[in-house]
Amino acid sequence: MKNQKIFDLLAPLGLEQLNFLKQLEDTCSDLQCAWLSGYFWKIANKDSNSISLKENQNNKDTIITIISASQTGNAKLLSQRLHEYLTKNNIKNRLIDAINYKFKKIKNEKILILIISTQGEGEPPEEALSFYKFLMSTQVPKLNFLYYSIFGLGDISYDLFCQAGKDFDKRLKELGANSLLDRFDADIEYENDYNKWSKKLLSIINEKNIINNFSIKNFSQKNNFVNSVIFYNKTNPAIASISKNQKITGRYSKKDVRHIEIDINDLNISYTPGDALGVWYQNDTNLIKKILKSLSINESEKINLKEHIITIYDALKNSFELTVNTKNIVRKYADFSKNNFLKNIVSDEIKLNQYVINTPLVSMIYDNPSKISSDQLISFLRPLRPRLYSIASSQAEINDEIHITVGVVQKIFSNCIYLGGASGYLSQSLKSNNKIKIFIEINNNFRLPIDKTTPIIMIASGTGIAPFRAFMQQRDNDGSTGKNWIFFGNPHFTEDFLYQIEWQEYIKKGLLTKMSLAWSQDQKNKIYIQDKIKEHGNEVWSWIEHGAQIYVCGNASKMAKDVELALLDIIAKNGNMNIEDANEFLNNLRIKKRYKRDVY
């Protein structure tokens, strides 16, 4: 029986299809089952030739495959631009998200273009993990006839800059694939680099003999990429209003967590549970004044920023990151200021790493003042980027609102409290009716099951609970009958149980089947989510056997890794597998979209 269940889990049919098939089987007589067998056999044989021909024709015509491996949406936007340009010029190509890519068919590819971001500690985006693991395995075939190009997106202030793109590039070369041009690693300001790379890429494709080999139509040398603007996106945000800004942690909690409601009435905005909200924030006025005063720069001094003449104050308010320090910033400021203390720090990599971790940018400047120009200042600052927050509401239930859960970032240095840029802005600067610039970041990799009878297991720590609040609202609205189980962890029950009343109401209502809570600081021995998962290991395995989808939301480097180890332990023990087989089993769940993570 156990082997049969494992077979069902890994069958070529999806879980929803298997469930529907079993329901149909239970209602049919032996004669009806025999008739259905013949009926489906006839359909399969009738359509197989035409399907095969259609697939072969598509493979023949589609020379270029563009894979988008995105974490915050930038790689996806660039992939869409490249796809639209090729299509506009009548060049056969296809665009596919990494999560949907049938990577075992990579040997059939002709030209593969990968636009990929890097997350966490040099890791590929969540949606590209299955592709990455396959490519690094021994199962991948030789790729001697594949041509490829990689455009990596990253942040040069991190040690493992664009590491995901580098790893893919190295592995493809090991497998014999042919690089059309050297991999390009782009920093935060990627627009000019992207235009140069794309122009060179198309030029090389046009010039090389592979055009004749693949019968590619002639590429235009002109790089007039279409900046496709979807209504309300990162470059064209909506202007919405704050309707509620409420602290939802207790008086004695060490965490300041806000529940924020945003009014989108009269705005043509739609979203789905699992999506994220992008927020363009503004830097704190006192922070800006402190930096400018330390550098002897007048607030009204004019600068030229992207061909616009504005004051340095306005530039720092809206266009530059001021709350995150980096090694590159320290190096450049030490060079401009000629400060001996900072020069000593920069000369020692270990000291520099620790200094960046412990010293906010404003403290570095305030404690080591210098007279530098506005142009020098903005030359080493990073451009301001929007912050993404998992949406904590279902539009089906709350209509013209978007809810988010914001953990306020706080650091104390030299007896001063420093807040995170976006979280400080959202928690301290915005009151009811204040305006805010927002956009929806679609996340198709983190969706509820289509079959409303499918059970789900939700695993979250801290503000990672936000998307699961949206999930429960949606399941409630849909009348879903699938079982729901949440694992949630935070320091203290009395102070940090986010949305406590709502979860207890779902339990009373019967919508929430099970709730397992881990309060790490409420007892002598710390208890974390992974401990609770192991404690209920047999039951978790039973849910998996019955088709449950698993969702994880939280910190990528700590919580999510510990949770995955706990799941592997459960799979190995209950499925009588070694750790390698357990890894493969869990990866198969990921491929079948039954194991989904939204980590940061």
Binding-site residue ranges:
70-75, 117-120, 153-162, 323, 387-390, 405-407, 420-423, 520-521, 526-530, 562, 600
Whole-Å CA distances, 502 to 484, 511, 543: 14, 11, 24
Q: Strands of 415-483 (E only): list them.
A: 416-419, 435-441, 456-461
How are the residues of the chain apportioned to helix, strand and coil, as percentages rounded to the nearest 5? 45, 20, 35
DSSP, collapsed to helix, strand or coil, labels residue 204 as: helix
Binding-site residues for FMN, in ranges, read: 70-75, 117-120, 153-162
Ramachandran region, residue 156 (left: φ > 0; alpha: ψ -120 to 50; beta: rest): alpha
Residue 47 φ then ψ, to 5°: -95, -10
The first and second tokens of residue 191, run together, are: 């627009």
Say how far apart CA 97 and CA 597 lie, in whole Å: 16
| 107 alpha carbon, distance to own chain's centre | 28
236: CB partners within 8 A, 6+ apart = 229, 230, 439
Positive or negative, the CA dihedral 27, 29, 33, 35 is negative
- 242 vs 432: CA distance, rounded Å: 5
Of 600, 598, 586, 599, the C-alpha closest to 130 is: 586
**Amino acid identity at 238:** A
Q: In whole angstroms, how far apart are CA 220 and each of 86, 111, 114, 443, 568?
A: 9, 17, 21, 33, 50
Distance between CA 410 and CA 197 in Å, rounded?
Answer: 39
Buried b (16+ CB within 10 A) or exposed e, 253-262: bebbbbbbbb
8 A C-beta contact, residue 577 and residue 571: yes
**Phi-psi bin for 90: left (phi > 0), alpha (psi -120 to 50), beta?**
left
Helix (H) / strand (E) element for 586: namely: helix 579-591
Annotated binding-site positions for NADP(+): 520-521, 526-530, 562
* CB distance 454 to 16 below 8 Å: yes
Residue 131 to residue 26: CA distance in whole angstroms:
37
* Count of CB atoms situated within 10 Å of the CB of 138: 4
Beta strands in 265-324 (DSSP E): 276-280, 302-305, 308-311, 320-321
User: How many residues are given for the chain?
Assistant: 600
Amino acid at 44: A
Q: What is the DSSP letter of 107?
A: G
User: What is the rounded CA–CA span in Å between residue 544 and residue 40?
Assistant: 29
Q: Which residues are annotated as a binding site for FAD?
A: 323, 387-390, 405-407, 420-423, 600
